[in-house]
Amino acid sequence: MPFDFGTVLSSGAVALVVDDRERIGYSAAAPLWRDVASGMSGPDVQRAQELLKAWGYLSTGPDGRAGSATTAAITAFNKAHGQSSAAGVLRLDTLVYLGVRSFTTVEVSTRPGQAVAPGDVLATGPVRPLAVVVTEGQGQGSGSIAGDGAAFVLDVAGVTVPYEMGSGAVTDPALVAKVADALRGQTEGAARLRLATPEPVVTIPASAVITDPNGALCVFTGPKSGPLAVTPIGGGTTTVQLPTTFAATEVLANPRDVLDNPSCS
C-alpha cells in the first residue's frame, strides 16, 4: 500500500496490491457502479472512457457507448496491470474510487498483510465541503434586465463559478472544491453575485426610491415634479439598479427630507 500520512494518491496510480494484483485509484465526478463491458452505454460508461483516455489507453472521444475502441482500451489497461483474465471487461474490483479529485491520506486504517473485504475502509482523507452556502443581498432577485432566465456567476476569493440566483448554494463537487481551495481554509468569505454577461443599467441612490403603503415604487426628478414609477432590477442597501429605459437624468436623492409626505399615488 502506498498510503502514509500526507501521501497524495492521484488518479491512475496504484492504490494497493491485493493478492499480488494491482488496484488502480481513480477520480471522477461519481464512482462507477458496475463492471463496464462491450455493448454497454450510459453516463458511467462515459466516465470509464474519460478515465481510459486520461490514462492513455483510449484515443477516441468519450461518447457513453462501449464499442470496439473502448473494449480494446479496457483490454490494454487490464494487460498493463496484470488483469489479462478480465479481457475486455473493466471490473470494479480492479479499481479504487478516490473521490472527485486526488486523495490526500490523513489516517491509514489497513496494513499490509491484513485481509480486506468490499466496503472496508483503507484510509481516511481530509474532510471536504459538500456545498457553498450563499447569502444573497437584499434586492437581488432572479429578475434582471436580461430576463428571468439570465445566467449568473459568483465571484469569491478570486475565482468565478456559475450560480443559480435564488438557490442559496453551489453544490457541484468540482465548483465547491474550486471555491474551497480559493478560500484557503477559511469557512466564510465576501462574494459578489453578477450577471455572467454584463448588461448596462442606471444606478441611483437607494434613498431616492419611495415605497408607498400599497407597495408601489417611485422616484421624484425634482422638488416640484410628480412621482415617476420605477421597477428596480437589482440593488442593495446603498444603490438601486434600474433598466436603461429609465429616461430621467436626475432624481431627488432625499425626497423624504424635502417633500411633504411623498407618495407614489
pLDDT at res. 25: 94
Of 98, 124, 150, the domain-final residue: 124
Residues 12 and 120 in one domain: yes
Q: 101 and 29 in one domain?
A: yes
Based on the number of CB atoms within 10 Å of its own CB, is 57 exposed (0-12), middle (13-18) or buried (19 or more)? buried
Least confident of 43-47, 88-92, 198-202, 250-254: 198-202
Residue 2 falls inside a structural domain: no
Quick one: average pLDDT of 233-247?
87
Q: How confident is the model at residue 148 (pLDDT cuts 50, 70, 90)?
A: low
Residue 15 counted as domain residue: yes
pLDDT bracket for residue 142 (50, 70, 90):
very low
Same domain, 21 and 111: yes
The alpha carbon of residue 198 and the mean position of all alpha carbons in its chain are separated, in whole angstroms, by 21
pLDDT-based confidence at residue 138 (cuts at 50, 70, 90): low
Helix (H) or strand (E) holding 163: strand 159-163
| d(C-alpha 156, C-alpha 176), whole Å | 11
pTM over 0.85: no
Q: What is the pLDDT of residue 65?
A: 95
Q: The domain spanning residue 24 has which CATH number?
A: 1.10.101.10
By the 8 A CB rule, do 155 and 194 touch?
yes
Q: Cell 473502448 maps to which residue?
A: 70
Count of positions (residues) in the chain: 265
Which of 195, 228, 243 corresponds to the end of one domain? 195
Higher pLDDT, 161 or 125: 161
Alpha helices in 87-240 (DSSP H): 173-183
Q: Which of 23, 41, 39 is nearest to 91 (CA)?
A: 23
Q: Are 98 and 26 in contact (CB under 8 A)?
A: yes
Q: How confident is the model at residue 236 (pLDDT cuts 50, 70, 90)?
A: confident
Residue 40 φ/ψ, nearest 5 degrees: -80, 160
* Band of pLDDT at residue 68, cut at 50, 70 and 90: very high
- The stretches of 112-261 forming alpha helices (DSSP H) are 173-183, 255-258
Range of the domain at 215: 202-258
Mean predicted lDDT score pLDDT of the chain: 88
Residue 41 C-alpha cell reads as: 452505454
pLDDT digits (tens, 9 = 90+) for 183-205: 987 888 999 988 898 888 899 99
Q: Are 2 and 9 in contact (CB under 8 A)?
A: yes
Residue after which a domain boundary falls, among 195, 212, 243: 195
Structure confidence at residue 6 (pLDDT): 85
- 116-126 pLDDT, tens digit per residue, is 887 888 888 88
Give the pLDDT of residue 190.
92
